[in-house]
Amino acid sequence: MAPFGRIAEDIAAARDHDPAARGPAEVFFVYSGLHAVWWHRLSHRLWRGGLRFLPRAISQAVRFFTGIEIHPGATLGRRIFIDHGMGVVIGETAVVGDDVLIYHGVTLGGTGHDSGKRHPTVGDRVVIGAGAKLLGNIEIGHDSAIGANAVVVRSADAWTTLTGIPAEARPRRGAPFAERPDQADFYVI
């Protein structure tokens, strides 16, 4: 997809997730979560091209201006929306699926000095509540919801709700989104 098509898609996703969004111009100019994702796309492309210093410098500048730190090595899907953003940290080997909603203060981090894959993999259509911490090489299944301030250190199946410290998993209420596409309350935890 062309860059401008991606930007339009991101703006539409932000407007879908945020009832306070007044219009596409406001979202384009003042939503720091989108700015961080857009700059990440550039730094990630440079990172994959073998550069190291410039992508890291870009990610640190973006952190300074937005309060959101996304390592250029992290892999982000489409239509990710980081709402309010401040304090979000996404580590180098993290993988985030499509249509993920991330609130402020979220960390997708590692648990030590291991090499290789050491950050979480988050499936499609996952909601990650404010202050949640996902730590280590774990996998969160599609359509899951992670409650505010949960500390997730174990993998979870699709359509799971995770809450607590350490987070306990339980099935989400209702039927999976794919079985009820006409429902507007998909993001209910």
The domain defined by 3-179 folds into UDP N-Acetylglucosamine Acyltransferase; domain 1 (2.160.10)
If phi over 0 gives left and psi between -120 and 50 gives alpha, with beta otherwise, what is residue 149? Answer: left
DSSP strands (E only) in the chain: 69-70, 75-76, 81-83, 89-90, 95-96, 101-103, 107-109, 121-122, 127-128, 133-135, 139-140, 145-146, 151-152, 160-163, 168-171
pLDDT at position 9 is 94
Q: What is the pTM of this model?
A: 0.89
pLDDT at position 186 is 47
pLDDT bucket at 187, cuts 50 / 70 / 90: very low
How are the residues of the chain apportioned to helix, strand and coil, as percentages rounded to the nearest 5?
30, 20, 50
Per-residue pLDDT at 181 exceeds 80: no
pLDDT at position 1 is 67
Task: Give the tens place of pLDDT for each residue, 22-76.
Answer: 899 999 999 999 999 999 999 999 999 999 999 999 999 999 999 999 999 999 9
Task: Give the tens place of pLDDT for each residue, 121-143.
Answer: 999 999 999 999 999 999 999 99
As beta bridge partners, residue 170 has 161
pLDDT bucket at 109, cuts 50 / 70 / 90: very high
Per-residue pLDDT at 182 exceeds 90: no
Domain boundaries defined on the chain:
3-179
Per-residue pLDDT at 178 exceeds 80: no
pLDDT bucket at 113, cuts 50 / 70 / 90: confident
User: Once rounded to an integer, what is the mean pLDDT over residues 148-153?
Assistant: 98
Paired tokens of 157 = 């199946």
